[in-house]
Chain A
Amino acid sequence: MNKLNRRDFGVAVVAALLLPATSARADDMEIHIDNFVFQPPELKIKVGTTVTWTNRDDIPHTVVSAGKFRSKTLDTDDKFSFTFTNAGDYKYFCSLHPHMTGMIKVE
């Protein structure tokens, strides 16, 4: 499992380097948590988009944006979804491992 995670992590890093700005589209979007990292760490979406986070680590994480949204504790393979109905920048982090941060830009 760890090996898979590490490989995925590598792939995700490459993808993030190739596509620094994920193009905005109306489709629902997914963010994976692998190796204590939100991937992609920054996402640009359109208003009305639903973003789903999936924890693929062996350790629980949370997804928290102060005053905006807060997931329950996500154990391995648990998911959390949030629909962004207002434009703006949404910084978020894992309240258990606060060095894990991410950003959703809604336009």
Chain B
Amino acid sequence: MSGHDHGDDGVSRRKVLECMTWAGTGVLWTVTGGVPRSLGIIDSAQAATAATPGMTFLQISDSHVGFDKPANPNALGTLEEAVNKINAMPAKPSFMIHTGDITHLSKAAEFDNAERIISQTKLDVHYVPGEHDFIDEEVKLYRERYGRGTKGAGWYSFDAGGVHFIGLVNVVDLKAGGLGNLGAEQLAWLEDDLRGKSKSTPVVLFAHIPLWTVYPEWGWGTEDGGRALEYVKGFGSVTVLNGHIHQVMQKVEGNVTFHTARSTAFPQPAPGAAPSPGPMKVEDARLRSMLGVASVNFKQNEQRLAIIDTPLQG
């Protein structure tokens, strides 16, 4: 991390850059020199992966298995398409993270179907739950499948390739009128988890709902997300990966990169662009053209994020 001096916040804080593109399959991340860089989705990522040494991992999100409404009558099918793309990659990623809403209604069959398809990647998958994964009557199916070794409602951390990964849960105990919620217990755990870590350790935080406030009118943010960000403030490289909003958005503030991934199931409207954040129905032909590719390239000492959007079709 030599020569990687961010200085104080006021100096290094960059103009906020937001970028949006539409639904796609998954985001490929690679870690070179300890700094995660998003290489975009699948196809355009392939060439880059071959040329880029270091650890590579994949993010998929919002597969909503069981969803069968007009916006995409076959969400399982598009998840399978994403998995086929992953399997066709010449360079195998080290592992995958899934940022929640695996299922649409938390039915056992939905979890089973998701597992059947995602396991075809033969990758380790690190999950965090979305609100759609906790709506079975006893709220137990997600935990039975993915809760092993986790704390509280399912948070945990692990290390890979010199990077410290932290999976957070911000979809439980939501308060009327509020946003996503981490809660005091999880925040205390997070503070403790980071204690003693070298500030040069790259940190990746991932959770379902954006940890930053994207659009509170639609609940797109986390009430106490700022507290979590306080704890990672001193770290040289912080990357925050979320889903939930079914579109790519990115923001860079100082040494923190915020990024949301596409859904594999259906697109949602841009903030305020529709009466509600519900599934967005587009013509069939256009849906596939919206299953796009976004690459985000983050290099040390560069002020600008390079974002490339490449549709899979059209």
- Cα(A101)–Cα(B179), bound, Å: 12
**A75 interface contact, C-beta 8 A:** yes
Do A98 and B105 touch (CB < 8 A)?
no
A17 located at the interface, meaning its Cβ lies under 8 Å from any Cβ of chain B in the complex: no
Given contacts A58-B71, A59-B279, A99-B217, contact A93 B105 (CB under 8 A): no
Nearest Cβ in chain A — how far from B265, in angstroms? 11
CB of A97 within 8 A of chain B?
Answer: yes
A37 at the B interface (CB under 8 A): yes
Question: CA A49 – CA B236 in complex, angstroms?
Answer: 59
**Secondary structure of the A contact surface, majority rule:** loop
* B267 CB → nearest A CB, Å: 12
User: DSSP class of B's interface residues: helix, strand, loop or mixed?
Assistant: loop
Known: A2-B70, A60-B105, A73-B135. A98 touches B219 (CB 8 A): yes
Q: Are A98's CB and B279's CB within 8 A?
A: no
Most chain A CB within 10 A, of B137, B177, B217, B280, is at B177
Complex contact B216–A99 (CB within 8 A): yes
Q: Which residues of A contact B (CB under 8 A)?
A: 1-2, 5-6, 9, 35-37, 57-60, 62, 64, 66, 72-73, 75-76, 91-93, 95-99, 101
The chain B residues found within 8 Å of chain A, CB to CB, are 69-71, 104-106, 131-132, 135, 137, 174-179, 216-219, 274-281
Residue contacts A-B, CB under 8 angstroms, 25 given: A1-B69, A1-B70, A2-B71, A2-B278, A2-B281, A6-B275, A35-B278, A58-B70, A60-B105, A60-B135, A62-B135, A64-B176, A92-B176, A93-B176, A93-B177, A95-B174, A96-B131, A96-B174, A97-B131, A97-B219, A98-B174, A98-B175, A98-B179, A98-B219, A101-B176
